[in-house]
Structure 1
Amino acid sequence: MEQELQKRYGLLTAIAMVIGIVIGSGVFFKAEKILVATGGNLPLGILAWIIGGIIMVVCAYVFAIMATRYEKVNGIVDYAEVALGSKYGYFVGWFMAVIYYPTLTSVLAWVSARYTCVLLGWNIVGGEAMALSGFFLVASYALNALSPKLAGKFQVSTTIIKIIPLVLMAVFGTIVGLKNGILISNFTSGPIANASSSNPLFTAVVATAFAYEGWIIATSINAELKDAKKNLPRALTFGTLFVVLIYILYYTGLAGAVKNSIMMKGGETGAKIAFSTVFSNAGGIVLFVFVVISCLGTLNGLMLGCTRGFYSLAARNAGPKPEMFKSIDQNTNMPTNSSIFALLLSGLWLLYFFGANLTPVSWFGPFSFDSSELPIVTIYAMYIPIFIMMMAKEKSLSFFKRFVMPFLAVCACVFMVVAACYAHSKEIIYYLIIFAVIMVLGMILNSNKKYANS
């Protein structure tokens, strides 16, 4: 079997991966939560979108600088390794492979099923939704594992498709809202209900983290990206800026479609109500189909990164059984064993998400947390030492690139961590216990002790 991945993806696929993973579910999934968190205060909600977007763009820009200098297997692991050594690189890689990738992938499988159920009029927490979640998870795995080139084309296609409902709502929702006065009313009415937490802005910003997350997964294909040192920075920079712009415009258009009170009460059907209001019932259904496709495109991008999680460790002869996980299928040029294990982990995290968040009584008691948010905040915490060491080591960079942007990135990450503490309070303690157990397990199972202790 071959032991190296081929250079098969171009700049368009990389940009589509950044935009396609980020845009897809969070902007629909979290729009209602942000309104509820702010008590229907639309300007405060938009401020949360702006702050979350700035955090993403600043961090992506700093990693884009590193991407011009380093290229191996899985960008974020490369950067952690260069900045703090192979032990920290393994620490980050293990977290990405066991927690970050599979938790987000499993949540996206359910979100895709959720909006499919809304479209079909089914229960979003019933057996139908969970059956669809499992089907979407396996289908996404099959697409990536059996035909990675087709998965890349699917990513580009769904990225184009998913932009359609966002642009249409941004344009026509704003126009309709200005004509009927709803947009102005939503902007000027202030809070219309009690905020869901004592720190509404922090809670709202943490909610945007899920909507904005995913761009870092684009670095997982740097070993398969043509001219990665040029194309990956371009994809990160252009992709994240585009996402922030389209999100804010969409959120504004949404506020012109329906009153904040309706969106807040709409629950999972909030987006469908808005689309049906602006484009009629038939048009709303058609555009909502695009929303479902959008979610599936995001799931595909996450699975693309997820299948390479254990391979990125094995390629460094680290982690459990590296010889098994770094083997590559001659026909598909995919790390098959890594892909299969990623599917298993995603299935386990999907089961956890259901038992912790969707059942009337949690299966896990106090050890229940929102796996769509806390793993994302954790990765921001892991960025902090990388940015600090970048300032210390990268002496050939200009003052702006070496100090100004990494310092801003550190501030952005610290803000995100503090906001998460306010938003999730005691839930974080139990999450950190689970996190610590998994990370210790990773250190025990690492077959390359020299790598882990260097």
Structure 2
Amino acid sequence: MVTVIYYIVDRKGDKQLENVLEKKYGLLTAIAMVIGIVIGSGVFFKAEKILVATGGNLPLGILAWVIGGIIMVVCAYVFAIMATRYEKVNGLVDYAEVALGSKYGYFVGWFMATIYYPTLTSVLAWVSARYACVLLGWNITGGEAMSISGFFLIASYALNALSPKLAGKFQVSTTVIKIIPLVLMALFGTIVGLKNGILISNFTSGPIAKVTTSNPLFTAVVATAFAYEGWIIATSINAELKNAKKNLPIALTFGTIFVVLLYILYYTGLAGAVSNSVMMKGGEQGAKLAFATVFSNAGGVVLFVFVVISCLGTLNGLMLGCTRGLYSLAARNMGPKPEVLKSIDPNTNMPTNSSIFGLLLSAAWLLYFFGANLVPVSWFGPFSFDSSELPIVTIYAMYIPIFVMMMAKEKSLGFFKRFFMPSLAVLACIFMVIAACYAHSKEIPYYLIIFAVIMVIGMIVNKKEK
């Protein structure tokens, strides 16, 4: 087994051997991570919201899926170019550091470790519990759902912290499983919809409900951001990926294109199973009804079990990135207590202390998500925001200066890779930020206050050794 060795140069110029992460993941695991992290909950969780945002206008909803997919593929391709050139500890943090220096790299890494990873991980724990509760006939926002959410969160942490190789195998297995209901619904839902006329009716009926947002397309695109997000987390294992400079770009490019095509086909198949009005009204029950309509009640239950497994696979991938969040900073002697957080367990080859901190942050954000979004009256008043969407838009905003500096610095690249694709990626990110301003205009000021406070804390606790 190949081992990656990092050296830290002290003030006297001596090399000190630091803790190491082994090269334990192959190309198949990397592709499974990209596909497995992205595919899972979002396509089920956000299908209802996209229909509601567009007033049941199916073509407009599909356009939102296409735009969101293009944004993902373009950004992933540009990072794939960078992945062929840089390999260190954590992909995105590495790229930010190379492009704009260690301070910006730390800023991005701190955001990902304290906001991005744990918010998405906590939401995925609840979404997994939500569909489990649908199967069991329980309340999706009550004590049952939150108890199952906590269990899923801890179980995912235990799998990644105690046996990272097993977590990788679980990621590959669940990726295969989660594709099954999407492919079957895309195929048979479309056939059934064409036979019974529901698909044509859904496509031609236009808006069937009043649109409550000022720009329904922008709101729908932001909703797709959650469904498409997660691919960047695959870059968190580049130090543990065999032949990372070759395999990571392949995984990013192939994985994201595959996801976009599958999502659009599934969304079309879903429209052939039930009417738009049923999906808009039923939410998670509407998805269950769609599977039951196409595959009978028994078949629908079995495939819905696959949906739960699909969500758990996404949760596993997110937790994989979450456990390495603070390690990516500590490996640079940055952040709080780097000598503690960069410690690697000799038996599991995992950053144990960083993993524990990641779990605690995920639990805290799960509590916030419940109090801000699931209770009848928010616990946090105006400081309540959708933690499944705004952190994702923030990371797109952070991509912009990286892409700009890539165009300025990567002089050995040709025009297409140096200027055309990064420029397209910048425009895609700007579009996503503008769309978020329309979709969450009232929440953004309060979210930015929370964001600023956490960033200031990060500046205070940074203990970088020069």
Please point out which of 358, 361, 369 is paired with 2:377: 361
For 2:182, give the aligned amino acid. L
Residue 104 of structure 1 is matched in structure 2 by 120
Tell me by how many angstroms 1:89 deviates.
0.1
Write the distance in 1 (CA, Å) between the matches of 2:158 and 2:296.
36
Displacement of 1:260: 0.4
1:182 is matched with: 198
Map 1:298-309 onto structure 2 (within 5 A): 298-309=314-325
Determine if the alignment matches structure 1 residue 12 to structure 2 residue 9: no
Question: How do 1:259-270 residues align onto structure 2 when only pairs under 5 Å count?
Answer: 259-270=275-286
> Do the aligned partners of 1:177 and 1:184 also contact (CA within 8 Å) in 2?
yes
The alpha-carbon deviation at position 407 of structure 1 amounts to: 0.2
Q: What is the aligned partner in structure 1 of residue 7 from structure 2?
A: none
Distance 2:465 2:344 in 1: 24
Q: 1:127 aligns with which of 143, 146, 157?
A: 143
- 1:267: how far off? 2.0
Of residues 308, 311, 327, the one that matches 1:295 is 311
The 5 A counterparts of 1:3-42 are: 3-42=19-58
Q: Which amino acid aligns with 2:243?
A: D
- SS of residue in 1 equivalent to 2:21: coil
2:10 paired residue number: none
Query: Does the CA contact (< 8 Å) of 2:333 and 2:465 recur in 1?
Result: no
| Whole-Å separation in 2 of the counterparts to 1:2 and 1:177 | 59
**One-letter amino acid of the counterpart of residue 280, structure 1:** S
Is the 1:2–1:330 contact (alpha carbons within 8 Å) kept by the matching residues of 2? no
Determine the structure 1 residue equivalent to 2:328: 312
Query: Which of 228, 232, 248 is the aligned partner of 1:212?
Result: 228
Q: How large is the RMSD of aligned CA atoms in angstroms?
A: 0.8
Q: How does 1:344-359 map to 2 (within 5 A)?
A: 344-359=360-375
Alignment of 1:378 with 2:406, yes or no, is: no
Cα deviation for residue 269 of structure 1 reads 1.2
Matched, 1:76 2:72: no
Q: Distance in 2 between matches of 1:337 and 1:144?
A: 13
State the 1:198 CA deviation: 1.5
Query: Relative to structure 2, which stretch is displaced further, 106-115 or 192-201?
Result: 192-201
Partner of 2:266: 250
Shift in Å at residue 399 of structure 1?
0.1
TM-score (norm: length of structure 2):
0.96
Correspondences of 1:49-448 after superposition (within 5 Å) = 49-448=65-464
Quick one: distance in 2 between partners of 1:195 and 1:304? Answer: 38
1:2 Cα offset (Å): 6.8
CA distance in 2, matches of 1:378, 1:191: 31
- Kindly indicate whether the alpha-carbon contact (under 8 Å) linking 1:2 and 1:328 is maintained by their aligned counterparts in 2: no
Structure 2 CA distance for aligned equivalents of residues 116 and 196 of structure 1: 30
Where in structure 1 do 4 or more consecutive aligned residues deviate above 2 Å? none
CA distance in 2, matches of 1:448, 1:160: 42
Asked if the contact 1:2–1:333 (Cα under 8 Å) also holds between the matched residues in 2, the reply is no
Q: d(CA) in 1 for partners of 2:262 and 2:283? A: 22
Look up the SS of the partner of 1:115 in the other structure.
Answer: helix
Q: Distance in 2 between matches of 1:377 and 1:224?
A: 27
Distance 1:194 1:74 in 2: 45
Contact 1:2 1:329 in 2 (8 A): no
Instruction: State how far apart, in whole Å, the 2-side matches of 1:449 and 1:90 are.
Output: 13
Q: Distance in 2 between matches of 1:268 and 1:359?
A: 18
Summarize deviations over 1:336-394 as a string: whole Å, max 9, x none. 00000000000000000000000010000000000000000000000000000000000
What's the TM-score once normalised by structure 1's chain length? Answer: 0.98
Contact kept, 8 Å, 2:34 with 2:256, in 1: the verdict is yes
- How many angstroms apart in 2 are the aligned matches of 1:426 and 1:384? 24
How many residue pairs get matched? 450
Shift of 1:52: 0.1
**Cα deviation 1:64-99 (Å, max 9, x = unaligned):** 000000000110000000000000000000000000
Q: Which runs of 5+ in 1 are unaligned?
A: none
Paired residues of 1:40 and 1:190 also in contact (CA < 8 A): yes
1:319 Cα deviation after fit: 0.2
Whichever residue aligns with residue 382 of structure 1, its letter is: M
Tell me the CA shift for residue 448 of structure 1: 1.0
CA distance in 1, matches of 2:423, 2:352: 40
1:5-54 CA-partner distances (Å, limit 9, x unpaired): 00000000000000000000000000000000000000000000000000
How far has the Cα of 1:449 moved from its partner? 6.7
Task: Give the aligned partner of residue 8 of structure 2.
Answer: none
- Residues 71, 229 of structure 1: 8 Å contact kept: yes
Distance 2:455 2:441 in 1: 22
Residue by residue, what CA displacement relative to the aligned partner does 1:287-326 show, whole Å, maximum 9, x if unpaired? 0000000000000000000000000000000000000000
Identity of aligned residues (%): 89
Q: In structure 1, give the amino acid aligned to 2:72.
A: M
Letter paired with 1:183? L
Kept in 1: contact 2:84–2:245 (CA 8 A): yes
